Amino acid sequence: MIEFHLDSRSGVSAYLQLVHQVRQALRLGLLFEGEQLPTVKHVATSLAINPNTVLKAYRELEYQGLVAPRPGIGTFVTKTLSDASLGAHGLLRQDLKRWLAKARRAGLDEESIEALFQDTFRSAAQENVA
């Protein structure tokens, strides 16, 4: 069973933080197929957050095909993310390293690189929405 936590200063909505934490736990192999997620009531009570926020996160995970509810019992993990993503992960990391080296050669310092990344990330995310 995993234990959720919330960072109220991150600017990321609570429901997304919960989704990320489950995905992260799946990826790191901390959560297995067949395991139960904490109940909505348990999460709402322990974090002092609105139960609807927890429900929304669980529905999103269900939509992503990672968990499934069993009526009257709880929500269970139906898929793991750990092995499949590792290979792709390594490739992406290599790409990113190459890109970082390029950015440094172009004379960007760490702060500029971070700003450029954030800016591109955000505009790409917005294009996806639009």
Q: Please identify, using beta-carbon distances, which residue of 16 and 108 lies nearer to other proteins.
A: 16
Q: Does 112 bind other proteins (CB under 8 A)?
A: no
Min dist. Cβ of residue 1 to other proteins (A): 17
What binding mask, one character per residue, do residues 38-67 give for other proteins by CB under 8 A, x or -? --xx--xxxxxxxxxx--------------
Cα dihedral sign for 6, 8, 14, 16? negative
**Contact stretch for other proteins (CB under 8 A) within 11-19, 20-28, 79-87, 104-112:** 11-19
C-alpha–C-alpha distance, residues 99 and 93, integer Å: 10
Does 126 bind other proteins (CB under 8 A)? Our answer is yes
- Shortest distance, CB of residue 44 to other proteins, whole angstroms? 4
Listing DSSP states for 46-107 in one string gives HHT--HHHHHHHHHHHHHTTSEEEETTTEEEE----HHHHHHHHHHHHHHHHHHHHHHHHTT
User: Which residues lie near other proteins (CB under 8 A)?
Assistant: 6, 8, 11, 13-14, 40-41, 44-53, 126, 129-130
